[in-house]
Structure 1
Amino acid sequence: MQSYEVILIISPDADQDSVEESINTVTNFAKKNQGEILKSKNRGLKNLSYPIKSYNDAHHILMKAIMPPKEIISLDSILRSNEIIIRHFITKTNKTREAEDSAQTEDSVQTEDSVQTEDSVQTEDSVQTEDS
């Protein structure tokens, strides 16, 4: 499975229910096709750098997903057919599922190491203070 970043730019005319429905469309598509959404963030209504389809503002949705590469074309056509999505981007990232898992494991190990290092530094500081 391949890791992807999916960005949805949704019309400012869309209500919150329509925005959630668009997010659920991507989530359900991923689940139905042996994938999953790792992270989803609704960044809200933001000002666009340049007008898109005569809109100066739009809802921004950022999603990180893992799914089979062969399903991306289908997801792209589903997003194109959704009228409230004024632009979308699907970007292949370098991380695969295995790389994602190992990165999370390394992060947790580094966090534990830094906590242990901080504890040992505090202990050494307290010993030096007591000796003085």
Structure 2
Amino acid sequence: MRKYETIFILHPSLDEEAVKANVEKFKGVIENNGGEVENVDAWGKRKLAYEIQKVGEGHYTLINFNANPELPKELDRVFRITDSVIRHIIINPEK
């Protein structure tokens, strides 16, 4: 198992319940595919450095997790098909 970090930005029009539901959805993807969530850090609503699709702010969340090398590909796929995700990145901090 390798260590990974993912940061994703959700659309600012979402309410707190929808943000929590999306975070739980992504945690579920990690845990259901053999991963282990270490930490979830919700940074809240912040201003973006630049506008993305005419949106100037978003809900930031950082998740640290351990997983096999195939899981980030599945998580990336889920991020891409989720309409409420503006941007995301998955990195391996060990490299």
TM-score w.r.t. the length of structure 2 is 0.93
Query: Partner letter of residue 39 of structure 1?
Result: N
Higher relative helix content: 1
Unpaired segments ≥5 residues, structure 1: 96-132
CA distance in 2, matches of 1:34, 1:16: 28
TM-score w.r.t. the length of structure 1 is 0.69
**1:56 deviation in Å?**
0.7
Higher relative strand content: 2
CA distance in 2, matches of 1:9, 1:26: 12
Q: Does the CA-based 8 Å contact 2:38-2:64 persist in structure 1?
A: yes
Residue in structure 1 matched with residue 93 of structure 2 by the alignment: 93
How many residue pairs were aligned?
95
Query: After the TM superposition, which parts of structure 1 deviate over 4 Å for at least 4 consecutive aligned residues?
Result: none
Larger radius of gyration: 1
Residue in structure 2 matched with residue 65 of structure 1 by the alignment: 65
**1:27 deviation in Å?**
1.0
**1:110-125 map, 5 Å:** none
Q: Specify which structure has the bigger relative contact order, considering alpha-carbon pairs within 8 angstroms and separated by 6 or more residues.
A: 2
Residue in structure 2 matched with residue 130 of structure 1 by the alignment: none
Query: Partner letter of residue 40 of structure 1?
Result: V
Residue in structure 1 matched with residue 47 of structure 2 by the alignment: 47
